[in-house]
Amino acid sequence: MLIPSLNRVVAKVFSQTNLRTVLIVPLILQIVGGVGLVGYLSFKNGEEAVNKVAAKLYSDISDRIVDRIKTYLKTPHLINKTNVDGIDLGQLNIKNSKTLERHFLKQIQVFDGVTSISFGNPQGGFISAGNDERGISVAFTENFARGSLRVEGIDRQGNRNNLLVNEPNYDVRVRPFYQSAIAAGKPIWSPIYIYVPSSRGLGISASYPLYDGGSKLQGVLSSHISLVAINEFLQDLKISVSGKAFIVERSGMIVASSTPEIPFVRSTSTDKQENKRLKATKSREPLIRYTAEYLMSKFGGFAHINTGTKIHFQVKGKQQIAQVTPFKDEFGLDWLIVVVVPESDFMEQINANTYMTIFLCGVTLVVTTWIGIITSRWITKPLLQLNTAAKEIAQGKWDKIVELKRSDEVGQLAKSFGSMAVQLQASFSELTALNEALAQSDRKFRGIFNQTFQFTGMLSLDGIILEVNQTAIDFCRLPPEDLIGKPIWQSYCWTISPETQTHLQESIKRASHGEFIRYEVDLLGHSNRMIAIDLSLKPIFDRNGKVEFIIIEGRDITEQKQAQKVLANYNHTLEEQVAKRTEELIEINQQTQEQAVALEIALDKVKRTQSQLIQAEKMSSLGLMVAGIAHEINNPVSFIYGNIAPARQYCKDLLSLISLYQETYPNSTPEIQQLSSEIEIDFLVEDWQKLIDSIEMGADRIRKIVLSLRNFSRLDEKELKAVDIHEGIDNTLMILQHRLRADGNRREIEVIKNYGELPLVTCYASQLNQVFMNLFSNAIDALENQSQPPKITIETSLSQNSLGDSIQMSLQSEKDKSLSSIPHWVIINISDNGAGMSEEVKEKIFDPFFTTKPIGSGTGLGLSISYQIVVEKHNGLITCLSAPGSGTEFMVKIPLELSCTLN
């Protein structure tokens, strides 16, 4: 859009200008533009070169200042460090003022830049050697303590010759260089001070506090220097004609500058005269003062300048360039080095070159204009003749021919003009006929164009209205002349908002590149009524595929949009109702979940309480059952067992009598012989001994079972007691003996005992027997219908490993360290070669009421109660190792002495 618009502007301007001007002006503009461009580039290159040189100058000057300051300020701390090393090596005695005086005098003659070297002790004593305009001198307090300070000159032989100063009541402890070292507790610079007399300028002290091995202060070593040397160095720098360099503290106080101005001011009061440090913003040197004020305003204070920076600013309309470089050291110095140079110091030669370039451009312009005028006259004279002939032909004078005696392009143009006039005369007649036909076609097109029900128009590629139909005119309520020839977005209906106009302009631009655009827009209708329009922009292409113009169409969809709005409101209301109901359901669901969690917690408590009640009831029933068995069975069994021996003897006596009778009366009566045959006397004699032995064996077994029941329940052992674990295991196996024997299709279960050597274990025996009963019962259940030979393996052992870090064994007492080697834990491993269990089942086996057995075959409390007995009652551990197809192993680990782990 920019290039066509520029072409139209240029064409419009030159169409109103004569040919001579057209020929002269571009030539002049080209020459002036070329010369001006070269001059401008020359100026910019010179300016850039000067800026580079200036930047290099700033950097070099700043680096030189930094190097000089580092070198100058290194000496005082080096002197202090040398003296500290001498003190540490015993070469220098800080309590002997005479020794210190001689040592300081030697040093002050070696180091030129140092004004004095001193030492102050905690008693207020002071000793120093100095070198100033008075020559070499020493200063000391009497008795090396607080009191009168004497300053005496030193001759060439090192002897005191005259008194220079006598100051009473001198106390080094109140001096800034002493106090700053004490406050820092390490080597540090003192605050900058003004010498007395002030002609010596500013000074600064490097202080080093001395401490003994117990951190007790021994004194402060100090080396004092004058900052006048830095001032002189800055004045010797060759910056530029008007450039300045100065150093300031973060507080804005001047340290040194390249000007003769002293860095302090004298203020007089009624009773004394005192000197004060000079701030950079109060400097009498304008360039330093303006630079400091600009830095304060730009950065909000010198304390906020943390990195090197280059700045440009103006002073009274003149450009200034400044380089600011922070300077810090390890001893607390924090200064800013500022180098400022007026830009005019570098631009003088560039400005001279600029004036010369302007002069050459003026001379070139005059010469070019004169040559252009002569050339344009030679070119335009025949063209003016052709122009006159063309105007006459336009008036119908077809016989007007121009003849030029020239063979150049203008002469050829004259010949072509004559031929063109003949052809134009023939073409004019044809054009008249074509115009009549075109007018007739245009009337038909407009009839169709104006009768469409939606407004339609033609736009140029830049959005100018070329044509509109009657529907569009009726919609806008404006005459055609107020629409055609103007940008469409400036028409009344499009002035609803700037955003609407901007969107239309962007859409026209996209359509001019061949894109079909369609969108909905709100426009102003009659009486400022808002009308919703379905708008489209369709590009029309010429034979070469370029967009020639744009067809704009619009259709009123206000009623449709209103219906959509009503539907949207209905949907919004419905969504609000659904959302409200959803929130209510979410709240109800949340309350339900909270109640479910509370019920789950309560159910867990009920399950645990129920399992404990069942355990208590079970143990109570077991106790009553064992008591009944002991009472009801022990008496008859004792009666039977006690009568077996007499019965055996009675039977033996009777059989002896029968045998004697048979020997005495071999021929008995037929009745006796018949009875002997009927009762099989020979078999009776032979079987009676076996019968008595069987009765005795059965009675003995009944006694053992009753004893096992009593040992299993241990009704008389409710408290802790030392028992034999192996006896409890054997008693449990005795009770379960009927389940271990073969029965029908079930094989006999082999029990393998790998008992270790165990001492008596202090525990609740009856409860621990119940754990063994549950584990053996589960193992027997797991071996039902096994194809491989079923077996149960029992292993017992001792372990010195603790159950956990939180369980402390009291056996390892301070009084008997030898007990630490005694095993403290009993381990019982009970394993089977059954089907095993999955990981999911294994995670739940200790939960109350969890069982994998069929309904009625188990309560789901056995392992839960076992877990409570082992873990909660005995402070032990019960674990399960199992995998499908690999059998199951339970490990029970309890303390050897339960009293050791009750806490």
Run of H or E residues at 438: helix 409-450
The DSSP 8-state label assigned to residue 151 in this structure reads E
For 253-287, the pLDDT digits (tens) are 999 998 888 888 876 654 445 788 899 899 999 99
| Whole-number Cα distances in Å, 332 to 28, 51, 178, 305 | 67, 35, 15, 16
In 3D, which of 554, 714, 702, 692 has the Cα closest to residue 635? 702
Query: What's the CA gap between 835 and 843, in Å, rounded?
Result: 17
Amino acid of residue 887: G
Comparing 494-508, 733-747, 813-827, the range with the smallest average pLDDT is 813-827
Q: List, as own/partner pairs, every contact residues 595-601 make where C-beta atoms lie below 8 angstroms and the sequence separation is at least 24, other chains included.
A: none
Helix (H) or strand (E) holding 766: helix 765-782
SS (H, E, C) 630-690: HHHHHHHHHHHHHHHHHHHHHHHHHHHHHHHHHHHCCCCCHHHHHHHHHCCHHHHHHHHHH
The pLDDT > 90 percentage for the chain reads 23
Is pLDDT of 58 > 50? yes
Residue 92 has pLDDT above 60, yes or no: yes
Confidence at 708, pLDDT banded by 50, 70, 90: low
Q: Which residues of 282-310 are buried (b: 16+ CB within 10 A; e: fewer)?
A: ebebebbbbbbebbeeeeeebeebeeeee
Tell which residue, 175, 105, 88, has the closest CA to residue 139.
105
Name the nearest CA neighbour of 894 among 727, 716, 769, 717. 769
* 820 has a pLDDT exceeding 60: no
pLDDT at position 823 is: 52
User: Among 331, 291, 375, which Cα is nearest to 184's?
Assistant: 331
Reference 537, options 488, 603, 593; nearest CA is 488
- Compute the average pLDDT of residues 699-720: 60
What is the pLDDT at residue 270?
45
Better-predicted residue by pLDDT, 159 or 412:
159
- Tell me, rounded to whole angstroms, the distance of Cα 91 from its chain centroid: 58
Residue written as token pair 């190792």:
881
Please report how many Cα atoms fall inside a 13 Å half-sphere around the Cα of residue 351, on the Cβ side: 6
* Nearest Cα residue to 484 out of 470, 495, 471, 468: 468
Angle (CA) 617 620 621, round 5°: 85
pLDDT 10s digits, 104-121: 999 998 888 899 999 999
- Mean per-residue pLDDT of the chain: 79
Q: How many CB atoms lie within 10 A of CB 545?
A: 7
- β-sheet bridge partners, residue 753: 794
Confidence of residue 317 (pLDDT cuts 50, 70, 90): confident
Q: Which amino acid is at 152?
A: E
Type of residue found at 404: L
Span 560-574, pLDDT tens digits: 777 878 888 877 888
The answer to whether the CB of 898 falls within 8 A of the CB of 874 is yes
The DSSP call for residue 749 is P
DSSP secondary structure, 403-432, as one string: -----SHHHHHHHHHHHHHHHHHHHHHHHH
Least Cα distance to 108 among 130, 140, 92 occurs for 130
CB 526 within 8 A of CB 477: yes
Q: Provide Rg for the chain, Cα atoms.
A: 62
Please give the backbone phi and psi of residue 636, each rounded to the nearest 5 degrees, phi first. -60, -40
650-693 per-position pLDDT tens digit:
787 787 888 787 778 777 778 777 777 777 777 777 777 767 77
What's the token pair of residue 688? Answer: 């009676």
Give me the pLDDT at residue 127, please. Answer: 95
The mean pLDDT of 777-802, rounded to a whole number, is: 85
pLDDT band at residue 706 under the 50/70/90 scheme: low
Q: Range with the lowest mean pLDDT among 239-253, 281-295, 431-445, 658-672?
A: 431-445
Range name among 54-63, 296-305, 602-611, 620-629 with the lowest pLDDT average: 620-629
Q: N- to C-terminal Cα distance for the chain?
A: 93
Highest average pLDDT, of 230-239, 272-281, 438-447, 650-659, comes from 230-239
Asked if the model's pLDDT at residue 830 lies above 90, the reply is yes
Sign of the four-CA dihedral 689, 691, 697, 703: negative
